[in-house]
Structure 1
């Protein structure tokens, strides 16, 4: 089995591809797996760490304005298309999988045009431009939010399958009581987890100052990840507070599994993978989507969670310390509401997402294999039939030659 994966630009595109590759490798240790990405993308750091080969191609996303830089990007796109064509032709994949980002466009387009089975995985509620275009030519589109289906072109909707976003195994197996024991947080304490994505969020950090002061007063356990860039300055603003061991401010969450499992409430941005992890464990949440993301997809993600009663969405432009503080303490003070939100979150969550994704890929792989075998058998049968026909023609020809031979009549001697 030969699998080609492509996705890059952000961790939200790369990590799902890694999860898919790992699952295929678990089930098929002999599978040959290759990634296609860009040299400058985050995938060039992440993919090799997981032991997979990465081929790089030249491609860059377009700006949302007309300028000379965009003209140069058009030339890069054509170059990327040609480089991708060569990769697909040389590797000869059985299935090509794209998880988003501009790099997946040329790769999946070339594969689809070469009649190679292709799969797109869309992580967000609002599909990216690349995936919407690809949905018209690929074999299957795997989605993570049910409400994303109406945002795909009508002609491609029959290809859509709701699978969810893959979640790391260590998060899926984490348990609240064990996580609290590991973190030194007692069972009876209320616990809040807050993080603003891998890089942190200045807006969330600013709003959290008041929330942290009040959580310290109320003796509530919390873990707050500021982001490495903001950590030093933010920490200085808390010097006047006497934080307990179970009240932590950290630059980055090294142990997401324990932190998430131990929490009663999660505050964070609306990245698709973060939301998949939150809902997989059935956690109530306050979601603060980052502004200015591509297609404003984080806002759509957040509203999708809120519309199902699994969380509260607060847009960045509406975020104030007072509003966030009010939302946090309203939820912490209403046990029944928290339970209802937790149940709604669990209903949305798809802890089995990686199984569903793997199953769809294998269906396509096996169907293609059957088709290949069938074509081979038909070709073989046609060759046999042709050989029989040629042999029959030969025999007929020999018979005709024999009939046309002049007969020699013997003369009896007297």
Structure 2
């Protein structure tokens, strides 16, 4: 079996592709997989490190505002189409899978026009423009969120598969994870993170939650600040009398290498609303307070967050409305209300698709 997987720009488009590739390799040991991305995207670093071959093409997303950059984007995308055609005709794949990002546009367009078997995977509750257009041409569309269906006006098969996540996220155990991270399993554990770079607004509002944890010994906070904001948060913590950052009721880290352990330990999550993060949160069935990143394309993080909120799995605070007072009020309302936490956890679990990668593999097998 020969498979092309294309997608990139951000981890949210890359990691689902890597999970799909791993599942194909696990079942078909002779499978040959080629990733197609952009030389300037994160995939240029991540994909080769994992051990997969990466071919790059020219591509650039269309700017939101009218400018000369539109001409540059159209030119590069045109070049990308010809490069994609050359790659596909020489590699001769059995199937081409797109996981989003502007680089996937030329590849999936050419694959569909060449009558190759094609699947696109949409991670968000509100689909991006590229996938909306491609959905008219490909064989199947795999969806992370059931809410995405209403935004596609196509006859193509739309299947709610979920978003592929790492197996270790599902397999991690709470007791062992608490021990590894220096957390007390008897306390209510709050995991806070804002993505790999952190989230300044969340970090700022967390000072109020620190004060709550200082007053209440039954709360333990694991706050992942991101590398950019770590020193400022550390200074803020010092002014509150928190000197031991790696232990106690408030643990502050710049980065958590074993996020699977953090999720396994958590009774409540405070985070942004990226598709991959939410897939991991719901796969484990964790109640969440979500603060969507306000500058995401098509405001997709708010759509993602609202999808959980309307099903009772999360509370949402918009970034421009976020204050320490508002955040600590939500934490107070949830953390010691066992019935509410249980209800939210059950709602979250219903939305989780830990078997997402198997669902997508099934679609692949149906087509080939």
* Deviation sequence 1:296-345 (CA, Å, 0-9, x none): 00000000000000010111011111000100111012111000000110
Distance in 1 between the 2:183 and 2:68 partners?
A: 56
Q: Does the 8 Å contact 2:58/2:79 carry over to 1?
A: yes
- Partner SS for 2:119: strand
Rg comparison, structure with higher value: 1
Residue 191 of structure 2 is matched in structure 1 by 193
> How far 1:184 sits from its partner (Å)?
3.1
Of 279, 283, 287, the match for 1:284: 287
- Partner SS for 1:211: helix
> How far 1:29 sits from its partner (Å)?
1.2
- Of Structure 1 and Structure 2, the greater helix share is in 1
Distance in 1 between the 2:249 and 2:209 partners?
A: 16
Distance in 2 between the 1:20 and 1:189 partners?
A: 37
The answer for unaligned runs of 5 or more in structure 1 is 366-414
Q: Does the 8 Å contact 2:8/2:38 carry over to 1?
A: yes
Number of equivalent positions = 363
Distance in 1 between the 2:60 and 2:185 partners?
A: 49
**Does 1:298 pair with 2:307?**
no
> How far 1:246 sits from its partner (Å)?
5.2
Residue 232 of structure 1 is matched in structure 2 by 231
Distance in 1 between the 2:185 and 2:11 partners?
A: 33
* Deviation sequence 1:208-228 (CA, Å, 0-9, x none): 111112112212212101110
Distance in 2 between the 1:86 and 1:254 partners?
A: 39
Q: Does the 8 Å contact 2:185/2:265 carry over to 1?
A: no
Distance in 1 between the 2:204 and 2:25 partners?
A: 43
> How far 1:248 sits from its partner (Å)?
1.1
Matches within 5 A, 1:263-278: 263-278=266-281
Q: Does the 8 Å contact 1:126/1:148 carry over to 2?
A: yes
> How far 1:236 sits from its partner (Å)?
0.9
Residue 369 of structure 1 is matched in structure 2 by none
Q: Does the 8 Å contact 1:192/1:265 carry over to 2?
A: yes
Q: Does the 8 Å contact 1:213/1:241 carry over to 2?
A: no
Residue 376 of structure 1 is matched in structure 2 by none
Q: Does the 8 Å contact 2:274/2:301 carry over to 1?
A: yes
Where do 4+ consecutive residues of structure 1 move more than 4 Å?
Answer: none
What is the TM-score of this pair, normalised by structure 2?
A: 0.97
> How far 1:242 sits from its partner (Å)?
4.9
* Deviation sequence 1:63-111 (CA, Å, 0-9, x none): 1111111111111111111111101111000000000000101001101
Matches within 5 A, 1:20-35: 20-35=20-35
Q: Does the 8 Å contact 1:183/1:246 carry over to 2?
A: no
Of 358, 362, 366, the match for 1:359: 362
Distance in 2 between the 1:141 and 1:18 partners?
A: 18
- Partner SS for 2:237: coil
Q: Does the 8 Å contact 2:210/2:250 carry over to 1?
A: no
Residue 252 of structure 2 is matched in structure 1 by 249
Distance in 2 between the 1:177 and 1:2 partners?
A: 41
Q: Does the 8 Å contact 2:285/2:345 carry over to 1?
A: yes
**Does 1:91 pair with 2:91?**
yes
